């Protein structure tokens, strides 16, 4: 059983703040500062270039990949970290397309995060006019999986509402039509149990600065099913994905297995911060995290609906159909969220009217939920959001 009071003590959580935005940027693990400082002083400072070997920097992308892999049901040696999620989406979709020559449609839905759609669109434009990005409503995805489709590219948990696709069923259906799947786990990794191997998934990608607490700009990860890895030709064929980077061959030969999905020099400072976060995750069981997350979100919905009739639930009511976030619609949602943040409850806002709250059992408990609801109630019932200072739009919402 995961000891959530122990994990909560392992994060820096500012006094007076209830942090319900770990779905956007997880908080700082309290060992991360010293870990990064040690890496800077003892490794970079003292070892200089020899750190790549002596301190094991070169092994970090795959080592971190395996630790993340445990949380998402990936086989050992099938996940590698690096780059950003947008880049990993490009890599995955490009490689998936190549596995399905002759087909020219990438299917996605309008619940997907825009960056995934932009990236796919940019990739397809570079391939030629006959390629098509087909975007349908989330509930129409299953019906749109046809033998014309090369790649099904979906984000499992909708970033706005928390609605969840059925990864197993859609992957199975895709395979019956010869479609290769790319799953984005940005709002799944560390939020819900994922079983990539059990779902027979092909490609998956995700980021580590949301639920996984790797810090702003932390590297992304990519999964390739072991049955496919040897046949995948990376579109971003960088030297560190080469079979022998230090042979400095003029021709690219892909590295073995998942190593070929590496591109260039890994961000070691950022990976050191992520490894501090993974020390906490190593102690967590995703089934426990899920059970606790459902308790917290059910409590939150019940209390908010009882005291704030102006807020309309935008997330699925059935906990089995949503991830670990709860969203409410409110016309003045931007101002209401600014007022909440000013009163110590940090969530975020997604246009046009979504107030979003993430529930992260590693450091949020029932007491936090109850206090958060008291503050939300005070702000909604007394219309405290209706003040000019809360209506000024900031650059990041």
Ligand X SMILES: *Cc1c(COP(=O)(O)O)cnc(C)c1O
Which residues of this chain interact with ligand X, rule CB under 6 A? 84-86, 113, 115-116, 155, 159, 184, 186-187, 207, 220
Between the alpha carbon of residue 296 and those of residues 53, 204, 234, the distances in Å are 44, 28, 41
For the bound state, the minimum distance from the C-beta of residue 159 to ligand X, rounded and expressed in Å, comes to 5
Question: Among 113, 221, 223, 334, which one carries the catalytic annotation?
Answer: 113
Shorter beta-carbon distance to ligand X: residue 113 or 357: 113
Shorter beta-carbon distance to ligand X: residue 113 or 223: 113
**Cα–Cα distance measured from residue 329 to residue 356, given in angstroms and rounded to the nearest whole number:** 9
Q: What single string gives the DSSP state of each residue in 376-392?
A: HHHHHHTTTT-SGGGSS
Strands (E), the chain: 11-12, 18-19, 28-29, 79-82, 105-109, 132-136, 149-155, 180-184, 203-206, 220-224, 312-313, 325-329, 345-346, 348-350, 354-358
Backbone angles phi, psi at 189, to 5 degrees: -60, 120
Q: Which pair of tokens denotes residue 362?
A: 């590693």
Shorter beta-carbon distance to ligand X: residue 212 or 304: 212
For the bound state, the minimum distance from the C-beta of residue 115 to ligand X, rounded and expressed in Å, comes to 4
For the bound state, the minimum distance from the C-beta of residue 362 to ligand X, rounded and expressed in Å, comes to 19
For the bound state, the minimum distance from the C-beta of residue 324 to ligand X, rounded and expressed in Å, comes to 13
Q: Which pair of tokens denotes residue 180?
A: 């290769």
Decide if 131 is catalytic. Answer: no
Decide if 331 is catalytic. Answer: no
Shorter beta-carbon distance to ligand X: residue 108 or 272: 108
Shorter beta-carbon distance to ligand X: residue 104 or 262: 262
Shorter beta-carbon distance to ligand X: residue 86 or 307: 86
110-120 burial, b at 16+ Cβ within 10 Å, e below that, comes to ebbbeebbebb
Residue 233: CB partners within 8 Å, gap ≥ 6? 95, 98, 254
Decide if 83 is catalytic. Answer: no
For the bound state, the minimum distance from the C-beta of residue 178 to ligand X, rounded and expressed in Å, comes to 25
Backbone angles phi, psi at 322, to 5 degrees: -135, 165
Within 10 A of 349 (CB to CB), how many other CB atoms are there?
22
Shorter beta-carbon distance to ligand X: residue 332 or 348: 348
For the bound state, the minimum distance from the C-beta of residue 208 to ligand X, rounded and expressed in Å, comes to 9
For the bound state, the minimum distance from the C-beta of residue 61 to ligand X, rounded and expressed in Å, comes to 16
**Cα–Cα distance measured from residue 92 to residue 225, given in angstroms and rounded to the nearest whole number:** 11
For the bound state, the minimum distance from the C-beta of residue 187 to ligand X, rounded and expressed in Å, comes to 6
Could you give the angle at the alpha carbon of 186 between the alpha carbons of 182 and 187, nearest 5°?
A: 120
Decide if 184 is catalytic. Answer: yes
97: left (phi over 0), alpha (psi -120 to 50) or beta: alpha
For β-strands 79-82 and 325-329, DSSP reports them as: unpaired
Decide if 209 is catalytic. Answer: yes
**Cα–Cα distance measured from residue 76 to residue 72, given in angstroms and rounded to the nearest whole number:** 11
List % helix, strand, coil for the chain (3-state, nearest 5). Answer: 45, 15, 40
Q: Which of 144, 127, 279 is nearest to 214 (CA)?
A: 279
Shorter beta-carbon distance to ligand X: residue 103 or 187: 187
The catalytic residue positions are 113, 184, 209-210, 356
């Amino acid at each position: 059983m995961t000891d959530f009071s122990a994990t909560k003590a392992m994060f820096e959580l500012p006094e007076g703040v209830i942090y319900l935005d770990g779905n956007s940027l997880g908080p700082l693990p309290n060992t991360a500062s010293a870990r990064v400082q040690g890496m800077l002083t003892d490794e970079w400072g003292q070892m200089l270039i020899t750190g790549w070997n002596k301190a094991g920097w070169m092994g970090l992308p795959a080592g971190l990949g395996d630790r993340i892999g445990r949380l998402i049901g990936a086989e050992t040696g099938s996940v590698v970290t690096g780059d950003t999620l947008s880049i990993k989406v490009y890599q995955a979709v490009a490689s998936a397309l190549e596995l399905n020559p002759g087909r020219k449609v990438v299917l996605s839905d309008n619940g997907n995060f825009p960056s995934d759609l932009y990236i796919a669109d940019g990739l397809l434009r570079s391939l030629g006019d006959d390629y098509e990005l087909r975007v349908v409503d989330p509930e129409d995805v299953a019906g749109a999986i046809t033998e014309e489709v090369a790649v099904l590219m979906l984000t499992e948990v909708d970033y706005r509402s928390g609605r969840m696709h059925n990864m197993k069923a859609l992957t199975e259906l895709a395979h019956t039509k010869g479609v290769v799947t790319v799953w984005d786990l940005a709002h799944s990794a560390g939020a819900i149990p994922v079983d990539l191997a059990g779902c027979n998934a092909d490609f998956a990608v995700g980021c580590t600065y949301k639920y996984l607490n790797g810090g702003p700009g932390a590297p992304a990860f990519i999964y390739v099913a072991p049955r496919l890895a040897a046949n995948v030709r990376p579109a971003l064929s960088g030297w560190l994905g080469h079979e022998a980077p230090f042979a400095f061959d003029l021709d690219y030969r892909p590295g073995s297995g998942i190593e070929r999905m590496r591109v260039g020099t890994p961000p070691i400072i950022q990976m050191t911060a992520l490894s501090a976060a993974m020390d906490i995750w190593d102690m967590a069981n995703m089934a426990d995290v899920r059970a606790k997350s459902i308790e917290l979100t059910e409590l939150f919905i019940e209390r908010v609906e009882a005291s704030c009739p102006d807020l309309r639930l935008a997330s699925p009511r059935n906990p089995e159909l949503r991830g670990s976030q709860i969203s409410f619609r409110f016309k003045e949602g931007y101002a209401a969220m600014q007022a909440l943040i000013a009163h110590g409850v940090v969530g975020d806002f997604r246009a046009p009217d979504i107030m979003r709250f993430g529930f992260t059992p590693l450091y949020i408990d029932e007491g936090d939920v109850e206090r958060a609801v008291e503050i939300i109630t005070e702000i909604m019932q007394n219309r405290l959001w209706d003040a000019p200072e809360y209506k000024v739009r900031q650059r990041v919402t």
